[in-house]
């Protein structure tokens, strides 16, 4: 099939590359000429396991190409995917400007019937708005061309996006015609062979499914974090509690790992957007609000813990903290809404300094914060420890799990660890003479 994608962010690029890899002829469109030029040279704007190989292969095979020419993209694709960003506006609602601009362009430029697929995460009712926009533009052109709009939300996880795309749990299609369902079925057929994973529903339900899935997952994280805070005060161990509740198959072991809060480009934005949708409807949604509030508090907890250990925030001035992990989770260089940033900025605000190491997010940190005298970007995890008062762990990268504690003890000023992801075993550290703070477990000395 001939496909075009509007937007080459991480969703658009992964979708385009994976669809090209199974033989569809894909054109990826972006208005940013510099970005398109870099992608043509094989420089990808996102770090995603396996993506560079697929892009390189499909560009070489000729099944994937990039353009800034909207008319060419609309002419090429029988199916047009809208995968542009929907950043939050100043009120937290999803900003549909880019989605509706793409719809306008499609209406203006289409010369033959088209199926439009909305992939971006968009509030309920957006597929209808896209439909109205295209219909309005077509009628102003006095064109009677046929088109249809489907909602096809994506459920990719950053860091595992390619494998999620190749082996989806489900493919949600919100459509109002059986013809559109049939096209979507054919398009996804290569990813749907072993078991039928297509779920057809109306567009509004498909749009809400996306928000409901992310809000449910975010709820699990905030719930376990709330329990962790209680466990700490009750002298219980959240890691035991986690196993105890996860064993109930109705609860499950996934997504109940306590930590310093969820981040990234999706959960915070989508929970806020859902809250906003509820407000617009005049419906109070206290659960959704609490999920967000618990998370905001959780992101502060490392700083609170550190300040309290040193006898107050005023005693942090002039101290240096070694920070392992900057990305919002392992497997990505993404620092959007990362809990590490809340800690870094809180420490700076009281006059402390940071030495840090992340396996892939160092240049992202440089891009965000620039050169600063109170931020030292180090070449190795051990280098970050030199002369620091304590180690603070923000992201549970595999390479942080079994470090050489003897070497760490020699490099740090104090044998002191604040672990925001519970990667170490408290007993082992105490025996080794460390002071260890973690999440939802009693501090050990
Ligand atoms: C999330 C969803 O998992 C995807 O299904 C969805 O498609 C995507 O958002 C999206 O809407 O595009 P992602 O943001 O890549 O994916 O990250 P997750 O792996 O879900 O992690 C989100 C955050 O929750 C991370 O900060 C992570 O550290 C935290 N988390 C996750 C926990 O603190 N505990 C857990 O048990 C699980």
Query: How many angstroms is it from 90 CA to the middle of ligand 1?
Result: 23
Task: Tell me the whole-structure pTM to 2 decimals.
Answer: 0.95
Shortest-distance Cα residue to atom 18 of ligand 1? 157
**What residues does 29 pair with on adjacent strands?**
6, 67
Name the architecture of domain 202-445.
3-Layer(aba) Sandwich (3.40)
Could you tell me if the CB of 263 is within 6 A of ligand 1? yes
Report phi then psi at 55, rounded to 5.
Answer: -60, -45
**For residue 295, what pLDDT is reported?**
98
Shortest-distance Cα residue to atom 8 of ligand 1? 157
**What residues does 67 pair with on adjacent strands?**
29
Report phi then psi at 319, rounded to 5.
Answer: -85, 160
**For residue 292, what pLDDT is reported?**
98
Ligand 1 mutation pick, 221, 332, 438, max ligand atoms within 8 A of CB: 221
Cα distance between residue 164 and residue 156, in whole Å:
6
Cα separations in angstroms, 319 against 352, 405, 438: 5, 21, 20
**For residue 39, what pLDDT is reported?**
87
Query: How many angstroms is it from 406 CA to the middle of ligand 1?
Result: 33
Give catalytic residues, as residue numbers.
Answer: 266
Annotated binding residue 121: yes
Cα distance between residue 301 and residue 307, in whole Å:
10
In sequence order, which ranges of 250-376 are alpha helices (DSSP H)?
Answer: 267-280, 286-309, 339-349, 362-369
**ipTM associated with this complex:** 0.97
Q: Which pLDDT tens digits describe the chain residue by residue (445 residues)?
A: 999 999 998 899 999 999 999 999 999 999 889 998 898 888 898 878 899 999 999 999 999 999 999 999 999 999 999 999 998 888 888 899 999 999 999 999 999 999 999 999 999 999 999 999 999 999 999 999 999 999 999 999 998 999 999 999 999 999 999 999 999 999 999 999 989 999 999 999 999 999 999 999 999 999 999 999 999 999 999 999 999 999 999 999 999 999 999 999 999 999 999 999 999 999 999 999 999 999 999 999 999 999 999 999 999 999 999 999 999 999 888 999 999 999 999 999 999 999 999 999 999 999 999 999 999 999 999 999 999 999 999 999 999 999 999 999 999 999 999 999 999 999 999 999 999 999 999 988 8
Instruction: Find the length of the chain.
Output: 445
**What residues does 435 pair with on adjacent strands?**
416
Ligand 1 mutation pick, 262, 302, 332, max ligand atoms within 8 A of CB: 262
Helix 286-309, helix 203-234: angle, nearest 10:
40
In 3D, which of 30, 136, 148 has the Cα closest to residue 83? 30
Could you tell me if the CB of 153 is within 6 A of ligand 1? no
Query: Residue ranges of the domains in the chain?
Result: 2-201, 202-445
Cα separations in angstroms, 132 against 107, 116, 128, 150: 10, 12, 6, 13
Query: How many angstroms is it from 299 CA to the middle of ligand 1?
Result: 15
- Are both 2-201 and 202-445 of the same fold? yes
Query: How many angstroms is it from 190 CA to the middle of ligand 1?
Result: 26
Q: Does domain 2-201 match CATH 3.40.50.720?
A: yes
**For residue 48, what pLDDT is reported?**
85
Annotated binding residue 165: no
Cα separations in angstroms, 367 against 325, 347, 361, 413: 16, 19, 10, 29
Could you tell me if the CB of 339 is within 6 A of ligand 1? no
Buried b (16+ CB within 10 A) or exposed e, 97-109: ebbbebbebbbbb
Report phi then psi at 218, rounded to 5.
Answer: -65, -35
Could you tell me if the CB of 334 is within 6 A of ligand 1? no
């Amino acid at each position: 099939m001939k496909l075009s994608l509007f937007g080459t962010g991480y969703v658009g690029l992964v979708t385009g590359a994976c669809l090209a890899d199974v033989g569809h002829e894909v054109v990826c469109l972006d208005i940013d000429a510099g970005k398109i030029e870099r992608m043509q040279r094989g420089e990808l704007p996102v770090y995603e396991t396996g993506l560079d190989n697929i892009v390189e292969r499909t560009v070489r095979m000729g099944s994937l190409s990039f353009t800034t020419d909207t008319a060419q993209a609309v002419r090429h694709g029988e199916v047009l995917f809208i995968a542009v960003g929907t950043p939050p506006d100043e009120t937290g609602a999803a900003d549909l400007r880019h989605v509706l601009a793409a719809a306008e362009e499609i209406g203006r430029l289409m010369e033959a019937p088209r199926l439009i697929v909305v992939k971006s995460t968009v509030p309920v009712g957006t597929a209808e708005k896209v439909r109205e926009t295209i219909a309005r533009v077509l009628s102003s052109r006095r064109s009677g061309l046929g088109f249809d709009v489907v909602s096809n939300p994506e459920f990719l996880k950053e860091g595992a996006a390619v494998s999620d795309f190749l082996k989806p749990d489900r493919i949600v299609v919100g459509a109002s015609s059986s013809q559109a369902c049939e096209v979507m079925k054919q398009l996804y057929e290569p990813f749907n062979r072993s078991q039928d994973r297509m779920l057809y529903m109306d567009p509004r339900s498909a749009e809400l499914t996306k928000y409901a899935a992310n809000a449910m997952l975010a709820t699990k994280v905030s719930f376990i974090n709330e329990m962790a805070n209680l466990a700490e005060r009750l002298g219980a161990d959240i890691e035991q509690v986690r196993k105890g509740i996860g064993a109930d198959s109705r609860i499950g072991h996934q997504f109940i790992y306590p930590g310093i809060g969820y981040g990234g480009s999706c959960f915070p934005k989508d929970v806020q957007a859902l809250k906003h949708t509820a407000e617009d409807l005049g419906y109070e949604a206290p659960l959704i609000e609490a999920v967000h509030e618990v998370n905001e508090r959780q992101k502060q907890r490392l700083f609170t813990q550190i300040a309290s250990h040193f006898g107050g925030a005023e005693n942090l001035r002039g101290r240096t903290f070694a920070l392992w992990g900057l990305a919002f989770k392992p497997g990505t260089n993404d620092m959007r809404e990362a809990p590490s940033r809340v800690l870094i900025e809180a420490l700076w605000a009281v006059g402390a300094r940071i030495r840090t190491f992340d396996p892939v997010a160092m240049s992202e940190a440089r891009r965000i914060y620039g050169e600063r005298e109170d931020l030292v970007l180090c070449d190795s995890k051990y280098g970050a420890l030199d002369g620091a008062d304590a180690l603070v762990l923000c992201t549970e990268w595999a390479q942080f799990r079994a470090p050489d504690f003897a070497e760490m003890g020699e490099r740090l000023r104090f044998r002191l660890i604040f672990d925001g992801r519970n990667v170490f075993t408290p007993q082992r550290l105490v025996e080794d003479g460390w002071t260890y703070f973690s999440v939802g477990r009693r501090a050990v000395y």
